Amino acid sequence: MTDLTQETSVTAEATRTAAARLATRLAFFSSGFAVACWAPLIPFVKARIGADEAQLGLLLLCLGLGSVTAMPLTGVLVSRIGTRALILTGGFGMALVLPLLPLAASVWQLAPALALFGASLGMIDVAMNIHAVEVEARSGKPLMSGFHGLFSLGNFAGAGLLTLLLSLGAAPLPSALLGAVLTALAMLVATPRFLRHRGGAPEPLVLPRGLVLVLALLAGVAFLTEGAMLDWGALLVLERGLLSPESAGLGYMTLSAAMVLARMTGDRIITRLGDRRVLLLGGAFTTVGFLLLLLSPWPPLALLGFAGIGLGIANMVPIFFSAAGRQRAMPPGLAIAAVTTTGYAGILMGPAAIGFVAEATSISATFWGLAVLALLVPLLARVVTGR
């Protein structure tokens, strides 16, 4: 009887873990999908409210501030109410706010909507990663790269769907509504499958130091590059006259597809080549991608540039997180938290700063600056992997 009870218990635990894996994948996919639905809408929203580059930069800063404000708050709340409630709040929050973005008729209407959208994104991002750590531990095998690959797959699907709808002549509002409905449906399927996370004492926020400072800087560069491609990539190809407004989202969709491919095979690639070579190759792919995007007069080559950037940056961040866990300058948990906070500040707040630089110079000039920053990754690869 005891053996039968133990076997039943093991089977039930395996079933719960399998369900939690599905829920985590749906959470990563949904958040990536919802945030990517925003990218093809940017040119239309910008034109609707009559914003220039500097004003758009301020608006994107609202999105970033909403996210960065919600992230530490989520870390505190996790220990009290668990990850499930916070994932659901963030996921359904993004679905509710997404249709409000193309509805905004002025800067003052768009700013709070973007702040709420960013706060929802920040909340689900932190909570689902904490949930993913527990699911990975229960499963007893690496899963994190796959989870993040599904976020990229969601990016690809969201940008692809909205680009297709807008290219076929659909208005921005119904396109955003469809994206919101699909996001909410995915969250509904995931809802009963999340683990009942009990949590523990919240970890304090600390400033990175030592090797962690280098990792945080490089994570910020990688995330800033990805965020810039999301928020400014469509406007760059429009400035260069490469694509029409209806098809400008093809660039980010191409980048997302490349990131999906790289992340889904990332564990095998890193195992075969090693961290240092992956960082060196990633820097090379990113640099070539920027050169194609900024110099090529032909749309297919510019889209190939988006792909090169996606392939280059995709597996950088997993390596930085692994290195943060191995270093001894700080406790691993605090180091990973510091790298995460700095990285997401790059992806969420960096594009806002790009708006001010673009207003003073041009969008192309800001992307040349990003290309120079990306060179820091291969230059510091030995520092990251040598300890």
Summarised one tens digit per residue, pLDDT across range 355-378 is: 778 777 778 888 898 899 889 999
Identify the residue with better confidence: 60 or 112. 112
Distance CA 43, CA 249 (A): 10
CB 380 within 8 A of CB 252: no
Identify the residue with better confidence: 350 or 278. 278
Name residue 310's amino acid.
G
Predicted pLDDT of residue 81? 82
Q: What percent of the chain has pLDDT over 70?
A: 89
Confidence bin at 336 (pLDDT 50/70/90): low
Q: List the Cα angle 88/92/15 in 5-degree steps.
A: 40
Distance CA 192, CA 171 (A): 34
Could you read off the pLDDT of 106-159 as tens digits, one per residue? Answer: 888 899 999 999 999 988 987 887 787 778 778 877 677 778 888 878 988 998
Q: List the Cα angle 242/283/230 in 5-degree steps.
A: 45
Range picked from 248-262, 291-305, 351-365 for highest mean pLDDT: 291-305
Confidence bin at 28 (pLDDT 50/70/90): very high
Exposure class string for 208-221: b at 16+ Cβ within 10 A, else e: beebbbbbbbbbbb
Identify the residue with better confidence: 101 or 60. 101
In the chain, the DSSP E strands lie at: none
Predicted pLDDT of residue 132? 79
62-66, 76-80, 323-327: range with lowest mean pLDDT: 323-327
Confidence bin at 255 (pLDDT 50/70/90): confident
Q: Mean pLDDT score of the chain, rounded to an integer?
A: 83
pLDDT score of 94 more than 70? yes
Identify the residue with better confidence: 101 or 322. 101
Identify the residue with better confidence: 300 or 202. 300
Predicted pLDDT of residue 7? 58
Identify the residue with better confidence: 57 or 168. 168
Predicted pLDDT of residue 162? 92
Answering whether pTM is above 0.85, one says no
Count the Cβ atoms, other than its own, within 10 Å of residue 15.
10
Residue 193 is given by DSSP the state G
CB 215 within 8 A of CB 384: yes
Q: Six-digit token pair at 368? A: 């040349």
pLDDT score of 233 more than 90? no
Predicted pLDDT of residue 280? 93
pLDDT score of 221 more than 80? yes
Burial, 1: exposed, middle or buried (Cβ in 10 Å; 0-12, 13-18, 19+)? exposed
Confidence bin at 165 (pLDDT 50/70/90): very high
Name residue 194's amino acid.
F
Identify the residue with better confidence: 335 or 356. 356
Count the Cβ atoms, other than its own, within 10 Å of residue 269.
17
Could you read off the pLDDT of 259-283 as tens digits, one per residue? Answer: 888 888 887 888 788 888 999 999 9
Identify the residue with better confidence: 89 or 251. 89
Contacting residues for 209 by C-beta, under 8 A, at least 6 apart: 329, 330
Average pLDDT on 89-102 reads 96
Predicted pLDDT of residue 96? 96
Contacting residues for 200 by C-beta, under 8 A, at least 6 apart: 79
Average pLDDT on 232-245 reads 78
Average pLDDT on 19-36 reads 93
Average pLDDT on 316-324 reads 78
Q: How far is CA 371 from CA 19, 46, 224, 376, in A?
A: 41, 25, 11, 10
Q: 268 in helix, strand or coil?
A: helix
Average pLDDT on 200-228 reads 75
Confidence bin at 296 (pLDDT 50/70/90): confident
Predicted pLDDT of residue 6? 58
